Structure 1
Amino acid sequence: MRVSLSVLVLLTGLAACDSTPGQTDRTFTANGQVIAMSGGAGGAANACFTCHGLDGGGDGVAAPRLAGLDAGYLQKQLEDYASGLRPDDAMTRIAKALDQEGRRQVAAYYAALPPPPTQTPASIAPAPAIYLNGDPSRGIVACASCHGDWGQGSGQGGNPQIAGQPAAYTLEQIDRWKAGKRRNDPRGVMAAAVKSLSDPEARAIASWLSTQPASPAPASAAATGSASVEAAARPAASRETRRPYRSDGA
């Protein structure tokens, strides 16, 4: 009787250690769209569309547009959320509930969606001078040098498109970079770029970008997407050795 009980305990322990996904998990992670609409194995509370919209356009306030962004950039952000490199109460929980394949699938799904129209009427106002030129005297690098003259993204090293994002979201990210609450940029490129920005300058940049039309990621971003994904899969320490021109931020 003692032997039988030991065997039962052993089998119970082995069953508890079995991490093979069940049929339910496999169903809810079948592809990126299913994950976005269901939350995957994490359940309905993790469904992406509840914040980012059915069209991936965001909520116009705090949740950014995902549709049409570079797949490599999107997956890197999910990997950074999951690892804690980009801490966020909601997104860390959501990203951790997915495995790397699930994060890849949902990133590819949103990247393939057409960018929706900007939620703010298009403005013909010129870009703020600080956005186009920076201010070398204060160590401020021009945003346009990485993100393009209209915020369209450069397609180099995963520098993302930032046009058409809600002003409140962009301003929040600038504030996080400045405060050190967001640190998933190699060698502190983004933190250094915004460190000396004044509050009025940051607001002007965020407001102007929100009026710029969103567009599909540059064709050249496809070549850098795989590099971004590979970088996201490496330990955080190794990512710090990348070249400083790669921002991967915003």
Structure 2
Amino acid sequence: MPSQAWLLAMLLAGFALGAQAEGVRSAAMLSHTCAGCHGTDGASAGAAMPTIAGMDKGYLVKVLEDYKDDVRPSTIMGRIMRGYSDQEIAAIASFFADRPWVSTERPIDGELAYQGELIHQQRCESCHADGGRGQDARSPRLAGQWGPYIQYALETCRARGESCKKRQGAERVMVLEDAEIQALAHYYESQK
């Protein structure tokens, strides 16, 4: 039978390892998983991936939970999010919400951006106020986001039809024509 001192030493060592493991799963460390696609601190460097830094925390939590629960279709996000607890998802969302927004720096087509502005004012301003800068737990920031990503997201929502209707504003996206989607993408990307 082991001595009490040995048993106490083993318990303390186990406690120390457990405490150390908890410290390893900080919000900053959890967010490193996202850097490969969404860029360091959530400032995406590629037109196919959205910038997530500076997004509303409530919006990020909802999106990540939707990926985890397969409510929002994905190729990889659902698999990644299923590896996190609800508390870890909230920590990741807080981490990115606290980072500064970084707008894209790409040349845009001014005429297309103007057409997009008119469409935005007619169909999108009520949820995406201030030229797409406004955001809350239901609506993401669009101003300064990558145009190709916005175009992809709008086209994907429109193509999914009924499965996308649960998302706010989806009924407006369903009626957009290809040229309108392209114009909106240019407009939002032009906004800083």
TM class, shorter-chain normalised?
0.7 to 0.9
1:124-159 CA-to-partner distances (Å, cap 9, x unmatched) read 7645312111xxxxxxxx11110014101254x532
Shift of 1:27: 4.2
8 Å contact kept, 2:28–2:95? yes
Counterpart pick for 1:202 among 177, 181, 185: 181
CA separation in 2, counterparts of 1:182 and 1:71?
A: 27
8 Å contact kept, 1:71–1:107? yes
1:25-50 CA-to-partner distances (Å, cap 9, x unmatched) read 63442x2111012xxxxxxxxx1111
1:140-189 CA-to-partner distances (Å, cap 9, x unmatched) read xx11110014101254x532211111111111111111111794664x54
In the alignment, structure 2 segments of 5+ residues that lack a partner are 1-16
Taking structure 2 as the reference length, what is the TM-score of the superposition? 0.79
Map 1:128-207; keep pairs closer than 5 Å: 128-133=117-122, 142-155=123-136, 158-180=138-160, 183=163, 186=166, 189-207=168-186
8 Å contact kept, 1:65–1:165? yes
Q: Percent identity?
A: 31
Counterpart pick for 2:54 among 43, 47, 68: 68
Q: Paired residue for 2:31?
A: 36
Counterpart pick for 1:104 among 90, 97, 114: 90
8 Å contact kept, 2:109–2:186? no
Taking structure 1 as the reference length, what is the TM-score of the superposition? 0.62
Aligned residue type for 1:109: F
Shift of 1:121: 5.0
Bigger proportion of residues as helix = 2
Shift of 1:198: 0.8
In the alignment, structure 1 segments of 5+ residues that lack a partner are 1-21, 38-46, 134-141, 214-250
8 Å contact kept, 2:128–2:135? yes
